[in-house]
Amino acid sequence: MSDMLLILLPGTMYFWTLFVGQGPFQEMLQERESRVLPRILACPVTPAQYILAKMLRCFLLCLLATVFLIVSSALLFRIHWGNPPALALSTLVCSGSMTGLLGLIYAAARTREQATVLSPVVLMLFAMVGGSMFPYENMPGFLQMVGRFTPNRWAVLVLQGVARSQPLAKLVAPMTALLALALFGSLLAFLVFRRRLRNGAQ
């Protein structure tokens, strides 16, 4: 049973944690539309500090949710997640990639209504082709070709690889992809948010 769960759980875990982590970004849009944001920025808080605080909270929410799911699955279903240091690194990288992905989605949306439509569509598409809803190996070949470029698939490869004690050399590619999404996605989202605040949120 634990082996079957190990096939399904990493992708499902990544997918649902994304919904937990988008709260801070939803707050950014809500605070802007409700005119609360100018009051916040009237305090000794710079736009950069405000944005970084939201992104850091997103990262921490994703990290805590992932850790909770890993620990609870280990206790309830006897899933062995592999080497603790490698698992800790994988968890950090996965949480960072979630922050980068959510940051990009919400940077592309200018209103809460747009984000409410865009976020579920993007997350569902990635989940369907990336192995979060169905075993990746059972999907048609053309969907596998698309799914291999999704963060969901990268996270599955990393978490399953750590749990199965695969050599780290085999995990370099998906882990590097997740790290790139974490760094560049977060940076691009930060720049878009900061420009948007400077151009009209104050």
Query: How far is the CA of 70 from the CAs of 14, 15, 22, 51, 77, in angstroms?
Result: 11, 14, 20, 29, 10
Check residue 45 and give left, alpha or beta (phi > 0: left; psi -120 to 50: alpha): beta
In degrees rounded to 5, what are phi and psi of residue 107? -70, -30
> Token digits for 56?
């850091």
pLDDT in tens, 182-191: 999 999 999 9
Burial class (CB in 10 A: 0-12, 13-18, 19+), 146: middle
Q: What is the pLDDT of residue 200?
A: 62
181 vs 10: CA distance, rounded Å: 18
Q: What is the pLDDT of residue 184?
A: 97
Half-sphere exposure in the Cβ direction for 196 (13 Å, CA): 19
Q: For residue 159, give the amino acid letter.
A: L
Report pTM: 0.92
Q: What is the pLDDT of residue 201?
A: 47
Q: What is the pLDDT of residue 115?
A: 92
Helix axes 151-163, 168-180, angle to 10 degrees: 150
* Helix spans in 1-140 (H): 2-21, 23-33, 37-42, 47-77, 84-108, 112-130
What pLDDT tens digit does each residue of the chain (202 aa) get? 466 778 788 999 999 999 999 999 999 988 888 888 888 777 888 899 999 999 999 999 999 999 999 999 999 888 889 899 999 999 999 999 999 999 999 999 988 899 999 999 999 999 999 988 888 888 888 888 998 999 999 999 999 999 998 988 889 999 999 999 999 999 999 999 999 888 764 4
Q: What is the pLDDT of residue 2?
A: 60
pLDDT in tens, 44-70: 888 999 999 999 999 999 999 999 999
SS3 141: helix
